[in-house]
Amino acid sequence: MIARLNGILIEKHPPQIVIDCNGVGYEVEVPMSTFYNLPELGSKVNLLTYFVVREDAQLLYGFGSEQEKSTFKQLLKVNGIGAKSALSILSGVSIDDLIQAVSMQEVGMLTRIPGIGKKTAERLLLELKDKFSVAGLAQTAGQAKSATHDILNALVALGYNEREAMAAVKLLDKEVSVTDGIKQALKSLSK
């Protein structure tokens, strides 16, 4: 198994890159979050990788951080999610947004990702709910999740769209009360 590549970046064609490692060029597919953080062509690059062997292909996926790689591996364990879909999910939302969507059971955020329909999003939410906390990826305790969820629902009920409400909720302290959180979110949305 190939776990890491360290070499010179010689090609960049989203989502694929080529890394020259001592004369051998490795074609690697990366999520857009990693792609945007890559250095210029001809620069040294160091990526964590995940090697997939199928009957018809051998594919190498690269990641800029251990958290991206472990999230990718968790996504692959979900029934119906392959490597391409997992890469698409990591390209479509940040890991923090994915964790928040799973913890708040937000189907809408996941269905905006190309190739992820409602049934797939619901399956993702169901199967990842316990896995993120086991993998150490969950960010907040149950009480904070509940308060955040209540604040988000209140903002949506007041007429803000889900994207605006999520952006406002992200700016809040993790331990804010529901009442104070709604006031602070409304203040930030009114600017």
Name the DSSP letter for residue 172: S
Q: Regarding predicted confidence, which is higher, 20 or 131?
A: 20
The pLDDT of residue 160 is 84
**What is 142-189's CATH topology?**
Helicase, Ruva Protein; domain 3 (1.10.8)
Q: pLDDT for 122-138, tens place per residue?
A: 999 888 887 765 344 44
- Computed over every residue of the chain, the mean pLDDT equals 86
Select the more confidently predicted residue: 49 or 142: 49
Average pLDDT of the segment spanning 54-58: 92
pLDDT at residue 30 is higher than 70: yes
145 or 61, which is more confident?
61
- Tell me what pLDDT residue 132 has: 64
The more confidently predicted of residues 159 and 5 is 5
The yes-or-no verdict on residue 141 having pLDDT over 50 is no
| H-run or E-run covering 162 | helix 162-170
4-63 against 66-134: fold identical: no
Q: How far is CA 157 from the centre of its chain?
A: 27
Q: What's the distance, CA 26 to chain centroid? A: 24
Which is more confident, 66 or 177?
66
d(CA 89, CA 91): 5
Spell out a b/e string for 80-89, using b for 16 or more CB atoms within 10 Å of the CB, else e.
ebebebbbbb
* CB of 30 closer than 8 Å to CB of 39: no
CATH number of 4-63: 2.40.50.140
> What integer is the mean pLDDT of 36-64?
95
Give residue limits of the domains in the chain.
Answer: 4-63, 66-134, 142-189
pLDDT at 139 over 80: no
* Residue positions counted in the chain: 191
Q: Is the peptide bond before 39 cis (omega within 30 degrees of 0)?
A: no
Q: Compute the chain's Rg from CA coordinates.
A: 19
83 pLDDT above the threshold of 90: yes
What CATH fold (topology level) applies to the domain 66-134? DNA polymerase; domain 1 (1.10.150)
What pLDDT score does 140 carry? 41
Which percentage of the chain shows pLDDT scores above 70?
Answer: 92
Q: Roughly how many angstroms between the first and final C-alpha of the chain, as a whole number?
A: 51
Give the DSSP per-residue string, 25-77: EEEEE--HHHHTT---TTSEEEEEEEEEE-SS-EEEEEESSHHHHHHHHHHHT
191 pLDDT more than 80: no
pLDDT at 145: 58
Residue 78's nearest CA partner among 40, 119, 36, 45 is 119
pLDDT at 149 over 90: no
